[in-house]
Structure 1
Amino acid sequence: MHRLLRRTAVLILLALIVPFGGASAQNIDDEVEALNTRMENARSNHLNLIAPRAFREARDQLNDAREKLREGDKIADIREAVQEGQASLNEAEKLQDIGNVILEDAIAARSDALAARAPEFAKEQWMEAQEVMEEAGREIEKGDQNDARDKARESTQLYRRAELTAIRADVLGRARDARSRARAVEAEEWATKTFRDAQSKLQQAEQRLEGDRYDRSSARDVAEEATDQYIHARDISQQAQRVDDDVEVRFEEVRLQMENAMMPVLETLNLDATFSQGFEPVAEEMNAAIQSVYADRENLQSTLADRQREIRRLLAKVDSMDARLAELEEREQEVSAELRQRQERERTLERARGIFGDNEAEVVLRGDELIVRMYGLNFPVGSSEIQPANFGLLTKLQQVLREFPDAPITVAGHTDSRGNDASNQRLSEQRATAVQEYLMANMSVLKPNQIKSVGYGESRPLASNETEQGRAQNRRIDVTISLP
């Protein structure tokens, strides 16, 4: 009753403030949008959890105001719905401070569960945690802080359980599916050792998650090993059962299949081996041949190093000859200018290539454009924020740009094909802009109209997006310098 009287008084006061004659349709549009913005801020501040009843009332009044606005109802009726929504939010905001204290751990646990995709991988546990969180919010609205704290602790535990279940489903799901398929063909009986090894690996992965649920990378690696073992056990089981159906015929067939599978390897190694003495002698010959190949490779690498040293010596000699040629080129001004420009461009290209490591960037010359393909400039997934780990690589890029103080520069962002086209296009533009702004902030010699940025999304791949290596090549920043 007290709440109803207070709300009525608020509405009357707001009505008296509004001038007679009402407001324009544009003004009421702004009022509805202002309530919507306030609702979004309230959700960001977790008021939907702290004061669920008041938040729902505000949301219902917002929807009512939108509906009336869409149907062309009276401005006074729309304003009344907006004012009631604002009043509900006022009530919720009064509980914000105490609610944040009581629900702090529960809100953090809920956020972690969402990050682990608990609504997808642990739906029932997530719904149970949501219900208890709702009860905690209702107790806060009633003013019963003790019950609210009890419910908050319970919801925190439920969210943490849902988070762990989701992490397990995400990390261990593939291994468990492989285990089910192996059991379906009785791998426990027909491939006992391999199946047991897989079980041990899966148990190790589960224990790692039990010890530290956020050690997903390590647990995932072990789970993948378990998956491979389950698949191996399944294949052994199926093959063993086929042999068991007709052991005399099947064993010979399987043995010949194995020998035939090894024949291409023997041919590649140039071995004329037979299986008359079994597999072990053949395996020994193969091992010896492979060791020989490795030895040959080491010899070739040594020879290559010698040739590279000779090339460097010859290049040094060429540089000396270039200096002598420069004296003669002064006599032929037109020809000498063109030749010096070409030589300087080539040397600059070599210097630029020498600045970057193999995994950092590739420098290519395309006509009158020098392109620095920065494969090593990595961004967090879905982000355009430049990480401190990339500052060194960008410093190397600045070394190259200083070689061309007045040249026009274009920073182009590219992505792989994962994600939708619009998101990839937007992300590529944002990343290119981030690099452009970084260079402007750190290179005082750059003029504002000298450098621009552009995003191409996934439209200009350099390699196939079907492999991780190809996708890594396609995720890049290309910096193009227009040469004079």
Structure 2
Amino acid sequence: MRPSMKLFLFMLLSFVFSNQAFGQQSLREKTFDQTDKEMAEVKEKNAAVLAPEAFAKATEFYKKADEEFRKGRNLDEVRKRLKQVQNYLVRCRETIQLAEVALKTTISARDDAISAGAAKFSDVEWVKAEEKFVEATKKLENGDGKSAKTKGGEAEAMYRQAELMAIKTNFLTPAWTLLEKADRLKVEKNAVKTLNKARELAKLAEDLLRENRYDNSEARMNAQNAKYEAAHALYLNEQISRFKDADMKFEDVYLLAEKPIYKIGKAIGVRTSFDKGLEEPTNDIIAQIVENKNNLKTALKIIEKRNNEITALQEKMKSMEGKLGNLTVTEQTLRDKLELKRQRESLMREVSSMFASNEGRVLRDRDNIIIRLYGLTFNVGKSVIEPRFFSLLTKVQDSLKKFPESSIVIEGHTDAQGSAENNRILSEARANAVKQYLLANMGLSQDLIQAVGYGELRPIESNETKDGRAKNRRIDVVIIPSWAKSASDL
């Protein structure tokens, strides 16, 4: 047989087999389509838990129908199997409707336990609650509504307990861990007051969670303070033990306490004297800090006034430029520089207008431009960018395109909750996620963009308030324009 004929037969057979496979897939979709939709619907409504027996039967017959179809059995037999599946799916829907009424409060308790992470933080209690709930739904399937409600009530109590334990574990584990360590090290011998304070704060947080597990801001604050005081007690124990081992006297301890106050005073120009104790030099330092703060406010007002004067002079100069006929080389250079400055300011305003107030704010740091992305948030402890923020990052891309050949630094920042090292690692991961997104979508050079994580080191607001912490958790996109890399033009 000639090679050309062999090639023709090969192509013909490939076409036939391809058509057969396509036809088989098309036939399956036509046969199973309605059943697949109904299966998806009951799965979405949690049929495996709310109607376990009917759903198990539906799944069993569905697998048999699928197996018979793949083996090429008679389609009428396959359709009979699918009819059995649909009959059980009807029972699933009926039982789900009953459960949503008869076991409404239990379902609500289960949803709350899921939201609290009970499966992770109180897994034993969660499994027991799930088992009890399945017992209730099986009773409901078999028509025993009374027993179903009884077991549902038991499951509800178990879900609520699992939820509470999950919330406690999530909030209090760091403090509990440090308190256990303190007990092992017998910290109460050296720092009993601080240790007791930590225990009281932990108990208060636990009581607050028990009383109102949903309004937990006060409990969270007490849990964090308990963690701090426990760590404080451990530190005091270590230092006091060291003092005892070194046979240090009270004089040595006082002299050590004076050193940091002396250093602070020296740094801000305050002469510190300790002949009357620590309070007087401490008050002197505070007074100097307050004075410096007030001086800074005054200086900022003066700067603002000077900027307004500069703006007025620029406007006046603009008016005068039209009247000047022959400009010297120096005057022409100045006008060119002013025009360049106006162009850059116009570019800043244009970029600022691209972001809504809840998305971000555009700032200027000398020649650098900072896009502060308030609207880009991450799940707790995560660094994955959710699709809902892609439109915001598209605006960032559009902004970056207006500064060609610029260097870009993606800065990650967090609030002060958690450990400093974990915050630094998390902030760096989030900054790197934004960097990788921009690299993937803009074709930037690796040499022009870097990611840095500062953790909690550069707050812009106080970490003592919820709003302050929210503003401190941010991504800053710092643009270093090409003109900033050389000598300043202005």
**TM-score, normalised by the number of residues in structure 1:** 0.67
* 1:51 corresponding residue in structure 2: 51
> Is 1:289 aligned to residue 285 of structure 2?
yes
Moved more, 295-304 or 146-155: 295-304
* 1:207 corresponding residue in structure 2: 207
> Is 1:304 aligned to residue 303 of structure 2?
no
1:464 to 448, 452, 461: 452
Q: CA deviation at 1:290?
A: 3.9
CA distance in structure 2 between the partners assigned to 1:307 and 1:364 by the alignment: 15
* 1:234 corresponding residue in structure 2: 234
Q: For residues 438-469 of structure 1, what are the alpha-carbon distances to aligned partners after superposition, in whole Å with 9 as ceiling and x for unaligned?
A: xxxxxxxxxxxxxxx9689xx99775235156
1:74 alignment partner, SS class: coil
Q: CA deviation at 1:184?
A: 1.2
Q: CA deviation at 1:315?
A: 1.8
1:214 alignment partner, SS class: coil
CA distance in structure 2 between the partners assigned to 1:146 and 1:292 by the alignment: 74
* 1:28 corresponding residue in structure 2: 28
1:375 to 360, 373, 376: 373
* 1:8 corresponding residue in structure 2: none
Q: CA deviation at 1:326?
A: 3.6
Q: CA deviation at 1:209?
A: 1.1
Q: CA deviation at 1:183?
A: 1.1
> Is 1:474 aligned to residue 475 of structure 2?
yes
CA distance in structure 2 between the partners assigned to 1:35 and 1:139 by the alignment: 26
Q: 1:474 to 1:32 in 2, by over 3 A?
A: farther
Letter in 2 for 1:348: S
CA distance in structure 2 between the partners assigned to 1:271 and 1:371 by the alignment: 37
Q: CA deviation at 1:320?
A: 1.5
> Is 1:122 aligned to residue 110 of structure 2?
no
Moved more, 313-322 or 161-170: 313-322
Kept after mapping to 2: 8 A contact 1:195/1:229 = yes
CA distance in structure 1 between the partners assigned to 2:326 and 2:83 by the alignment: 85
CA distance in structure 2 between the partners assigned to 1:33 and 1:330 by the alignment: 83
CA distance in structure 2 between the partners assigned to 1:358 and 1:52 by the alignment: 46
* 2:147 corresponding residue in structure 1: 147
CA distance in structure 2 between the partners assigned to 1:338 and 1:98 by the alignment: 79
* 2:99 corresponding residue in structure 1: 99
1:348 to 332, 346, 349: 346
Letter in 1 for 2:373: Y
CA distance in structure 1 between the partners assigned to 2:286 and 2:301 by the alignment: 23
- 1:56-95 alignment to 2 at 5 Å? 56-65=56-65, 72=71, 74=73, 76=75, 81-95=81-95
CA distance in structure 2 between the partners assigned to 1:359 and 1:296 by the alignment: 34
Q: CA deviation at 1:229?
A: 0.6
2:371 alignment partner, SS class: strand
* 1:112 corresponding residue in structure 2: 112
> Is 1:194 aligned to residue 207 of structure 2?
no
**TM-score, normalised by the number of residues in structure 2:** 0.66
Kept after mapping to 2: 8 A contact 1:202/1:222 = yes
Letter in 1 for 2:287: Q
Q: CA deviation at 1:358?
A: 12
1:315 to 311, 314, 317: 311
Letter in 2 for 1:474: I
Letter in 1 for 2:73: K
Q: Which runs of 5+ in 2 are unaligned?
A: 1-22, 380-384, 403-409, 413-425, 460-471, 480-490
Kept after mapping to 2: 8 A contact 1:273/1:282 = no
Kept after mapping to 1: 8 A contact 2:113/2:160 = yes
* 1:268 corresponding residue in structure 2: 267
Moved more, 316-325 or 25-34: 25-34
Q: Which runs of 5+ in 1 are unaligned?
A: 1-22, 387-392, 402-406, 408-413, 430-452, 479-484
Q: 1:255 to 1:59 in 2, by over 3 A?
A: farther
Q: For residues 96-147 of structure 1, what are the alpha-carbon distances to aligned partners after superposition, in whole Å with 9 as ceiling and x for unaligned?
A: 3222211221111111100100011111211111111111111111112222
* 1:220 corresponding residue in structure 2: 220
> Is 1:166 aligned to residue 154 of structure 2?
no
Q: 1:454 to 1:224 in 2, by over 3 A?
A: same
2:213 alignment partner, SS class: coil
Kept after mapping to 1: 8 A contact 2:427/2:454 = no
* 1:481 corresponding residue in structure 2: none
* 1:324 corresponding residue in structure 2: 320
How many residues align? The count is 402
Kept after mapping to 2: 8 A contact 1:462/1:474 = no
- 1:170-189 alignment to 2 at 5 Å? 170-189=170-189
CA distance in structure 1 between the partners assigned to 2:315 and 2:165 by the alignment: 66
* 2:416 corresponding residue in structure 1: none
Q: 1:255 to 1:139 in 2, by over 3 A?
A: same
Kept after mapping to 2: 8 A contact 1:179/1:230 = yes
Q: CA deviation at 1:239?
A: 2.9
Kept after mapping to 1: 8 A contact 2:175/2:223 = yes
CA-based RMSD: 4.9
Letter in 2 for 1:291: A
- 1:434-473 alignment to 2 at 5 Å? 464-468=452-456, 472-473=473-474
CA distance in structure 1 between the partners assigned to 2:428 and 2:44 by the alignment: 26
CA distance in structure 2 between the partners assigned to 1:236 and 1:420 by the alignment: 34
Q: 1:42 to 1:270 in 2, by over 3 A?
A: same
Q: 1:373 to 1:81 in 2, by over 3 A?
A: farther
